[in-house]
Amino acid sequence: MPTHTLWRSSEFHRRWLFTQAEHQFDFFQFTAPNPKGGFNDLDEHGQPLPGPSVRALHSTGRMVHCFAIGQLLGRPGAANLVDHGMNYLWNGHRDTKNGGYFWGVGDADVPDSSKQAYGHAFVLLAGSSAKIVGHPQADRLIADVTEVLLTQFWEKQHGLTSEEYAADWSKITDYRGQNSNMHLTEALMAAFEATHEHIYLDMAISIAEALIHRITAHNGWRLPEHFHSDWTMNNEYIGSQVFRPSGSTPGHWLEWTRLLLQLWCLSGKTHGWMVDCAKALFHQATIDGWDKEKGGFYYTVNWDGTPLIADRLWWPACEGIGAAAFLAELAPDPHYELWYQKIWNWTNSHLIEQTHKSWHPQLDSQLQPIHKFFTGRPDIYHALQACLIPLFPTTGSLTQVIPAAIT
């Protein structure tokens, strides 16, 4: 492929990516902070949704992470949102009686007091990102959530994390899920980069080895999402369509593609299987997940690779962009650059709303925007990272590579 067709090296494309990232910061920075703590959910115009505000743990953690990225980039006001979110994680979400962090917190109560591994992963990510920008409460948060993860969630015999508990740490279900483990892998890598403590890297490798190298590699590269308590696959499971849909989710195959390549770099490029698995996951996602007629990634597929939920959500496209960018850099092949361009072309045509520059969260099978899983606009996390990952070295988390690249 001629050099001039490499978008990631094009000055114009890089300016375009920065502009798209600025749109994301602009949309969320000024109306998302809730004066009572945490962050509002926003409508398609960037205004707080009406009615009682319930702040989800993962959303609070993601906002801290994203505005720590903004602070590293030199965006005025970003540090204020990092501080706002860190205070709410500690004083709003944290359970001062039983330890851990509540999943959903309201203005005056706790409407969902469950303790979810998925949410705790984003507490660790938030604390790690805040440490990179020098937040004074970061070490305290990292130490606290690490202790909770190790004592309440981590199953050493499996090298994976359990899933969900009540406020008093009594068991809710025997469910085990890959999604929480995947995001914990992301957070563990960030924690390793921030603290240089190898326990985090060892845990990340353990999760990746179990879920991808041991399980998915023997399942036709279709990532199982749901498991029994002994970590045998539960392919008949049907839960929340947003967080636990039936079937397999190609967006997660793409997300793991990037995470495996990042983990390969962080672990000294000593685990060759990580690169092989990343390539195989990306290949299967583009074979099964991409609609060859209308474009875009199906939300879920059956175990024979046929579409199960044919709607298009915004975040699988975001993860496809990040995965293609990592592969194009670390496993150079024109194939990955072509996919990088293909996904961005489709995304710009169908997902990015041109008036407010926010992203439609869901399209139906005819690529028309719908409000089925979400009201308004979900948080900044996926879209922002899709815009920024291609701009920086593919050797670590954005919070790790940005400071080295801009100094």
Instruction: For the beta carbon of residue 76, count every other beta carbon within 10 angstroms.
Output: 9
Amino acid at 243: F
Which of 122, 207, 196, 223 minimizes the C-alpha distance to 396?
Answer: 196
DSSP string, 138-170: HHHHHHHHHHHIIIIIEETTTTEE--EE-TTS-
**Known catalytic residue at 350:** no
- What's the pLDDT at 108? 84
Instruction: Specify the DSSP class assigned to residue 5.
Output: G
Q: What is the phi/psi pair of residue 328, to 5°?
A: -60, -30
pLDDT along the chain (407 residues), means of 10: 74 98 98 96 95 92 98 98 98 98 94 98 98 98 98 98 98 97 98 98 98 97 97 92 93 98 97 98 98 98 96 98 98 95 98 92 97 92 98 97 90
User: Tokens 């949102």 belong to which residue?
Assistant: 81
| Structural Rg of the chain based on CA atoms | 20
Set 135, 252, 350, 360: catalytic member: 252
- What's the pLDDT at 1? 46
| Pick among 1.50.10.10, 2.40.40.20, 3.40.50.300, 3.50.50.60: CATH of 3-406 | 1.50.10.10
The H-or-E segment that residue 226 falls in is strand 226-227
**Known catalytic residue at 382:** yes
